[in-house]
Amino acid sequence: MSSNVKPTRGAPVKSVNLHIGEIEPGVPKVDPIIVADHVTRSFGGLTAVDVAHVEIPRNAITALIGPNGAGKTTFFNLLTGFDKPDTGRWTFLGKSLAGIPSFRVARLGQVRTFQLTKALNLLSVLDNMKLGAKGQKGENMFVALLPWLWRKQEEANEAKAMELLGRFKLDTKAEDYAASLSGGQRKLLEMARALMSDPTLVMLDEPMAGVNPALTQSLLDHILDLKTQGMTVLFVEHDMQMVRHIADWVIVMAEGKIVAEGPPDAVMSNPAVIDAYLGSHHDQDLGVDPHAEETMHALKELLDDEPSS
């Protein structure tokens, strides 16, 4: 995928008031939407996540970066109820989410997408969208037998779904099977479906992975639009150009821990970040992260090309 990303709507204005005090891993935020403490998750003898403390700022776009195996997706799974931690607690909008299943987390306004899209291939694009609506009366077995109780809501959900599909340039595909969509279109569908529930926080796991460059710009603009519409965004991404263009804040994970965070430009020149990608033994080919060489090349390009503003 090309990293020559130029948001047509312009990069967001980076806030200087997201954090309190000196910038370091776990720095407090002015208005956090998520606060996590002592969250750990191990698989056998491997500790995949070991986050002492982290806060996600509200009404901002935060990028979660790090080499493969850093624990980013596992941390996503824990925060959204798709996995259970060994220890720890975290809150969303002040409400504890520890032990709450994923469907209830989504109902509270925290939704996510996946690196590998989860569209139901044998349903139409429109039906996939309607699955994302919450509080559907027809889901009750007894109410389902009385169409006049849910038909009006169903019509409203379909109208909303079509409006979103139009915004994501998928309205012409509404009656097609989801299986017929390209990889990039499935990413768009998953993001559009997430918006059916009117979320407060949208979490995107590698939204650009496997996307044709022709759709990269569209996805990027939609992520920027989420913030414009008042939502908070937390995303995992390897494309450093994208991170620098759209992120207000960057959090770096390595070996399950938060090793650095801060504004994009500061993070990309942080020695701890460079070491996280290259490792302490720079002269050895460890063969761990296929993205490392590409990412470090992008980091060097970004550092050599400081913004004029």
Compute CA 292 distance to the chain's CA centroid, rounded to the nearest angstrom.
Answer: 20
| Beta-strand pair 95-96/110-112 | unpaired
What residue spans in the chain does CATH classification 3.40.50.300 cover? 1-119+201-309
Structure tokens belonging to residue 68? 């493969």
**112: β partners:** 203
For tokens 């060097």, name the residue: 300
What pTM, to 2 d.p., does this model score?
0.80
Cα–Cα distance, 224 to 143 (Å, whole number): 39
Cα–Cα distance, 74 to 219 (Å, whole number): 23
Cα–Cα distance, 218 to 168 (Å, whole number): 8
Q: For residue 79, what are the contacts with CB-CB under 8 A and spacing of at least 6? A: 34, 36, 90, 97, 110, 203
CA-to-CA separations, 250 to 78, 87, 146, 151, in angstroms, rounded: 19, 25, 50, 44
Q: How many CB atoms lie within 10 A of CB 262?
A: 21
Cα–Cα distance, 101 to 78 (Å, whole number): 10
Compute CA 36 distance to the chain's CA centroid, rounded to the nearest angstrom.
Answer: 17
In terms of Cα–Cα distance, which of 37, 56, 168 is closest to 96?
A: 37
Within 151-248, strands assigned E span 201-205, 232-236
| Beta-strand pair 232-236/201-205 | parallel
Contact call for residues 87 and 40 (beta carbons, < 8 A): yes
Contact call for residues 98 and 88 (beta carbons, < 8 A): yes
pLDDT tens digits in sequence order for the chain, 309 residues long: 444 555 444 444 454 589 998 999 999 999 999 999 999 999 988 999 999 999 999 999 999 998 888 899 999 999 999 999 999 999 999 999 988 998 889 889 999 888 767 777 888 999 999 888 776 655 656 656 666 665 786 788 888 899 999 988 899 999 999 989 888 888 888 888 889 888 999 999 888 877 777 777 778 888 899 999 999 999 998 777 788 888 999 999 999 999 999 999 888 888 888 887 766 434 434 344 455 555 555 555 555 555 544
For residues 25-54, one letter each, b for 16 or more C-beta atoms within 10 angstroms of the residue's C-beta and e for the rest, the string is: bebebeebbbbbeebbbeeeeeebbbbeeb
- The Cβ-side half-sphere exposure at 145, using a 13 Å CA radius, reads 2
Contact call for residues 273 and 267 (beta carbons, < 8 A): yes
- Which DSSP category does 267 fall into? H
pLDDT 10s digits, 13-31? 454 589 998 999 999 999 9
- Which DSSP category does 149 fall into? G
Q: Which fold has domain 1-119+201-309?
A: Rossmann fold (3.40.50)
| Beta-strand pair 232-236/61-65 | parallel
